[in-house]
């Protein structure tokens, strides 16, 4: 009896502390997701009068549209490039800053810093940085005689331009990997050095396995994040844009990611139901990708404890 | 032998520093481009052959950036929205993190998995229908919505707080409980002050998210109430609607400045706090 009362008290406190989150979760997650799914099964437009239930017709239409399928493909390719390159950059940075290096804190801060800059600003910085005529990137490359003449990076390499922006903002993986490296006991390195292991063997057989859970975590969360890229597509649109047109004119095919399309369908074309079904499809794809990677992760990640079969 | 070893060590350090400096230089290029562009005249921007630095620094661009769009007003909008979001977000995440680290109820693990699962939901899947719903019931242009948006906390911050709380020994609370304090007194007077670093980190993150957020304000707010993120996303244009890159860069520098200041004043505690509490365990 007494035990029971304590149990009830504990549970009540648990839910009291969790109450704001639960309320927010119901209001801003469950409700819109559910309603959004229901709406995606209708023909709702901005000013439609006769709302009809049309089942999965929107989804069928999406799956038959080669542009949409292409969009999913480029989004996935972009997310993969974004994730892998950001991880490699972060890993190199973390390995360089791992041991006592003079000015460690300063380097760490500078490499992390771009991550803090708001995406709108980053978009515009890169739009101007990579511009053919006014861009600093061309000027530097020309001065170093690395390219013969100015290149219109945004128009010729739209996907690469957005990826470069992602690399610049890879500070987050740097921090994660620095955290991961700091969990590796020093003795392991010392022992291996005495045994005659060189730097690369130490990396391959000590740092990499012990870091693998962090790399895996970073891989999955970065994939989820990168699959949702949208504003970069519009700001780095290579067409000569004028103010108000920025979110009205579609970006080139290679960088018209699924999110950008969804945003465009809903706000630009007022096709609510169609846009929502596109977003819902992305939701399902992200979920599937996450589950697949988590499954695969079990094989790739090193763990101390041997798993029971 | 020892000399060879130390010589090799110095060599390795020199090598590392060289690569680091190279990396930092590359990372600095876009920022240099930003500052340089903001100080050029229009003619210098499109000069053939291109020029690297302006002949005379055009500080007037910084004045135009402020006056052309009534910058102060939109800056205030941004501050209001960010504060509205950040405060409840910290509190709610802190509450939830505490709940998950301390109350051993059977379903705790399951609920925590739900929190983590919400990270998988693309944010447009929730925000766009929410926008349609909210405009349907006529709640357009309401800034207090951000207080509610903050209330659901953020999965990452909940996780962070859970980590922080689980590093605090249980005995702290037990002795207070024996002295007759209730759960909430224990939380506010004993536990909350002990996670100050977590609160600072959560505050920086939440502030930076809402400061940078474009989607929600562009959907929920119009005209005079939009924050800088929405106002500046379209760039600065002159009467002929052509983009002014130089003034635009000056404006974006203003917009980024609060984040830079916030980051550099708190960065030591921020990064080391992240490394110490957030990621391990």
Number of neighbours of residue B152 by Cβ within 10 angstroms:
25
Q: Sign (positive/negative) of CA torsion B149, A28, B197, B194? A: positive
Minimal CA separation from A309 to chain B, in Å: 23
- Return the higher-pLDDT residue of A206 and A49: A206
Chosen for mutation from B20, B93, B208, B239 (greatest number of chain A CBs closer than 10 Å) is B20
Candidates A17, A92, A93; nearest CB to B98: A17
pLDDT of the residue at A308: 43
What Cα–Cα distance (Å) separates residue B155 from each residue in A20, A112, A142, B143? 13, 22, 46, 23
pLDDT of the residue at A78: 96
Cα angle at B155 between B153 and B161, to 5 degrees? 80
In the structure encoding, which two tokens stand for residue A287, read together? Answer: 């979920």
Average pLDDT over every residue of A134-154: 86
Minimal CA separation from A12 to chain B, in Å: 10
Chosen for mutation from B23, B33, B250 (greatest number of chain A CBs closer than 10 Å) is B33
In chain B, the residue whose alpha carbon lies closest to the alpha carbon of A23 is: B152
Q: pLDDT-derived band of residue B280, with 50, 70 and 90 as boundaries?
A: very low
Q: How far apart are CA B103 and CA A12, in angstroms?
A: 10
A178 to B255: CB separation less than 8 angstroms, yes or no: no
pLDDT tens digits, one per residue of A81-133: 999 999 999 999 999 988 778 888 889 888 998 999 999 999 999 998 998 88
Contacts of A23 in chain B (CB under 8 A): 151-152
- Return the higher-pLDDT residue of A49 and B58: B58
Q: pLDDT-derived band of residue B253, with 50, 70 and 90 as boundaries?
A: very high
- Position B5 pLDDT exceeds 70: no
3-class DSSP state for residue A11? helix
Contacts of A230 in chain B (CB under 8 A): 124, 215
Average pLDDT over every residue of A243-257: 83
pLDDT of the residue at A136: 86
- Return the higher-pLDDT residue of A209 and A25: A25
Q: How far apart are CA B218 and CA B230, in angstroms?
A: 6
Q: B158 near A57, Cβ under 8 Å?
A: no
Q: A20 near B95, Cβ under 8 Å?
A: yes
User: pTM for the full model?
Assistant: 0.89
Q: How far apart are CA B210 and CA A180, in angstroms?
A: 28
What Cα–Cα distance (Å) separates residue B177 from each residue in A2, A6, A86, B172, B174? 17, 13, 47, 9, 5
Interface of B with A in 53-82 (CB under 8 A): none
Q: Does B133 touch chain A (CB under 8 A)?
A: yes
Minimal CA separation from A88 to chain B, in Å: 13
**What string of DSSP letters covers B59-104?**
THHHHHHHHTTTHHHHHHHHHHHHHHHHHHHHHHHHHHHHHHHH--
Q: How many interface pairs between A and B have CB atoms less than 8 angstroms apart?
A: 276
Cα angle at A286 between A213 and A306, to 5 degrees? 25
CA nearest neighbour of B37 among B278, B251, B238:
B251
End-to-end CA distance of chain A: 40
**CATH class held by domain A67-300:** mainly alpha
Q: A118 near B255, Cβ under 8 Å?
A: yes
Contacts of A272 in chain B (CB under 8 A): 132
**CATH class held by domain B70-234:** mainly alpha
Minimal CA separation from B182 to chain A, in Å: 10
In total, chain A counts a number of residues equal to 309
Domain residues of chain A, as ranges? Answer: 67-300
Winning range, highest mean pLDDT, from A76-85, A127-136, B46-55: A76-85
- Position B38 pLDDT exceeds 70: yes
A24 to B99: CB separation less than 8 angstroms, yes or no: no
pLDDT of the residue at A88: 95
pLDDT of the residue at A307: 47
- Position A243 pLDDT exceeds 50: yes
A243 to B232: CB separation less than 8 angstroms, yes or no: no
Average pLDDT over every residue of A235-240: 84
3-class DSSP state for residue A48? coil
- In eight-state DSSP terms, residue B251 is H
Q: What are the residues whose beta carbons fall under 8 Å from the beta carbon of A62, sequence distance 6 or more?
A: A68, A274, A277, A278, A281
Average predicted confidence (pLDDT) for chain B:
87
In the structure encoding, which two tokens stand for residue B260, read together? Answer: 């830079």
- Return the higher-pLDDT residue of A190 and B143: B143
In chain A, the residue whose alpha carbon lies closest to the alpha carbon of B28 is: A110
pLDDT of the residue at A151: 87
B228: left (phi over 0), alpha (psi -120 to 50) or beta: alpha
Q: Does A196 touch chain B (CB under 8 A)?
A: no
- Return the higher-pLDDT residue of B271 and B192: B192
- Return the higher-pLDDT residue of B276 and A84: A84
Winning range, highest mean pLDDT, from A1-15, A150-164, B7-21: A150-164
- Return the higher-pLDDT residue of A119 and B5: A119
Contacts of A227 in chain B (CB under 8 A): 122
Weakest mean pLDDT among A8-22, A206-220, B47-61, B264-278: B264-278
Q: Does A77 touch chain B (CB under 8 A)?
A: no
Q: How many helices (H) and strands (E) does chain B have?
A: 15, 0
Q: What are the residues whose beta carbons fall under 8 Å from the beta carbon of B57, sequence distance 6 or more?
A: B39
pLDDT of the residue at B252: 94
> Can you tell me which residue has the tokens 């110095």?
B10
Average pLDDT over every residue of A147-157: 88
- In eight-state DSSP terms, residue A241 is -
Q: pLDDT-derived band of residue A309, with 50, 70 and 90 as boundaries?
A: very low
Chosen for mutation from B113, B234, B266 (greatest number of chain A CBs closer than 10 Å) is B234
Q: A173 near A91, Cβ under 8 Å?
A: yes
Q: A224 near B121, Cβ under 8 Å?
A: no
pLDDT of the residue at B201: 87
A220: left (phi over 0), alpha (psi -120 to 50) or beta: alpha
Q: How far apart are CA A3 and CA A305, in angstroms?
A: 35
Minimal CA separation from A127 to chain B, in Å: 10
Q: How far apart are CA B89 and CA B97, in angstroms?
A: 12
A23 to B151: CB separation less than 8 angstroms, yes or no: yes
pLDDT of the residue at B150: 93
Winning range, highest mean pLDDT, from A63-77, A208-222, B229-243: A63-77
B243 to A241: CB separation less than 8 angstroms, yes or no: yes
Strand partners, B243: B237
Q: Does A216 touch chain B (CB under 8 A)?
A: no
Q: Does B158 touch chain A (CB under 8 A)?
A: yes
- Return the higher-pLDDT residue of A48 and B121: B121
- Position A246 pLDDT exceeds 90: no
Q: B277 near B160, Cβ under 8 Å?
A: yes
Question: What's the alpha-carbon Rg for chain B, to the nearest Å?
Answer: 24
In the structure encoding, which two tokens stand for residue A106, read together? Answer: 């300063």
Q: How far apart are CA B217 and CA A23, in angstroms?
A: 21
Number of neighbours of residue A225 by Cβ within 10 angstroms:
19
In the structure encoding, which two tokens stand for residue B259, read together? Answer: 């984040």
Q: A278 near A258, Cβ under 8 Å?
A: yes
Candidates A110, A221, A224; nearest CB to B24: A110
Minimal CA separation from A129 to chain B, in Å: 6
pLDDT tens digits, one per residue of B157-173: 999 899 888 888 888 88
H-run or E-run covering B157: helix B155-166
Q: Does B277 touch chain A (CB under 8 A)?
A: no
Average predicted confidence (pLDDT) for chain A:
87
pLDDT tens digits, one per residue of B68-120: 888 999 999 999 999 999 999 999 999 999 999 988 888 889 999 999 889 88
Minimal CA separation from A89 to chain B, in Å: 10
Minimal CA separation from B262 to chain A, in Å: 10
Minimal CA separation from A173 to chain B, in Å: 12
Q: A165 near A89, Cβ under 8 Å?
A: no
Candidates A35, A138, A228; nearest CB to B133: A35
Q: How far apart are CA A231 and CA B198, in angstroms?
A: 30
Candidates B105, B130, B236; nearest CB to A28: B130
Average pLDDT over every residue of A250-256: 89
């Amino acid at each position: 009896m007494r035990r029971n009362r304590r149990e009830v008290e504990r549970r009540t406190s648990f839910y009291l502390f969790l109450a704001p989150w639960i309320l927010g979760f119901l209001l801003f997650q469950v409700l819109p997701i559910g309603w959004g799914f229901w709406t995606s099964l209708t023909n709702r437009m901005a000013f439609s009068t006769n709302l009809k239930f049309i089942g999965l017709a929107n989804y069928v239409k999406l799956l038959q549209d080669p542009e949409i399928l292409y969009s999913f493909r480029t989004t996935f390719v972009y997310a993969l490039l974004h994730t892998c390159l950001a991880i490699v950059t972060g890993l190199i940075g973390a390995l360089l800053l791992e041991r006592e290096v003079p000015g460690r804190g300063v380097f760490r801060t500078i490499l992390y810093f771009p991550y803090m800059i708001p995406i709108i600003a980053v978009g515009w910085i890169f739009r101007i940085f990579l511009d053919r005529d006014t861009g600093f990137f061309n000027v530097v490359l020309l001065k170093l005689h690395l390219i013969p003449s100015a290149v219109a990076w945004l128009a010729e390499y739209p996907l690469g331009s957005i990826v470069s922006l992602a690399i610049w903002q890879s500070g987050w993986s740097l921090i994660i990997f620095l955290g991961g490296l700091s969990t590796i006991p020093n003795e392991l390195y010392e022992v291996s050095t005495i045994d005659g292991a060189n730097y690369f063997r130490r990396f391959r057989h000590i740092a990499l396995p012990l870091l693998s859970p962090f790399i895996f975590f970073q891989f999955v969360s970065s994939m989820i994040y990168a699959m949702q890229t949208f504003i970069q597509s519009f700001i780095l649109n290579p067409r000569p844009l004028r103010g108000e047109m920025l979110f009205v004119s579609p970006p080139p095919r290679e960088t018209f990611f699924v999110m950008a399309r969804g945003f465009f369908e809903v706000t630009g074309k007022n096709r609510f139901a169609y846009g929502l079904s596109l977003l819902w499809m992305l939701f399902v794809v992200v979920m599937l990708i996450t589950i697949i990677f988590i499954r695969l992760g079990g094989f790739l990640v090193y763990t101390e404890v041997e798993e029971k079969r | 032998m020892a000399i060879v070893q130390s010589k090799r060590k110095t060599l390795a350090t020199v090598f590392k520093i060289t690569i680091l400096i190279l990396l930092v230089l590359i990372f600095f290029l876009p920022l240099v481009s930003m500052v340089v562009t903001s100080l050029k005249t229009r003619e210098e921007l499109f000069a053939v052959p291109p020029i690297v630095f302006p002949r005379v620094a055009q500080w007037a661009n910084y004045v135009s950036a402020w006056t052309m769009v009534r910058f102060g007003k939109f800056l205030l909008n941004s501050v209001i929205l960010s504060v509205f979001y950040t405060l409840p977000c910290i509190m709610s995440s802190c509450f939830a993190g505490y709940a998950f680290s301390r109350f051993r109820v059977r379903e705790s693990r399951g609920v925590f998995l739900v929190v983590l699962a919400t990270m998988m939901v693309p944010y447009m899947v929730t925000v766009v229908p929410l926008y349609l719903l909210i405009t349907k019931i006529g709640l357009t242009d309401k800034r207090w919505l951000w207080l509610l948006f903050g209330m659901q906390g953020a999965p990452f911050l909940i996780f962070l707080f859970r980590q922080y709380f689980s590093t605090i020994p249980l005995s702290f609370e037990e002795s207070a409980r024996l002295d007759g304090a209730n759960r909430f007194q224990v939380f506010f007077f004993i536990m909350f002050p002990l996670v100050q670093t977590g609160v600072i980190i959560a505050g920086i993150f939440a502030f930076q998210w809402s400061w940078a957020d474009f989607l929600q304000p562009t959907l929920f707010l119009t005209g005079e109430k939009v924050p800088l993120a929405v106002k500046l996303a379209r760039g600065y244009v002159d009467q002929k609607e052509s983009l002014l890159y130089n003034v635009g860069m000056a404006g974006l520098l203003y917009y980024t400045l609060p984040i830079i200041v916030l980051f550099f004043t708190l960065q030591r505690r921020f990064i080391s706090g992240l490394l110490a509490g957030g990621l391990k365990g």
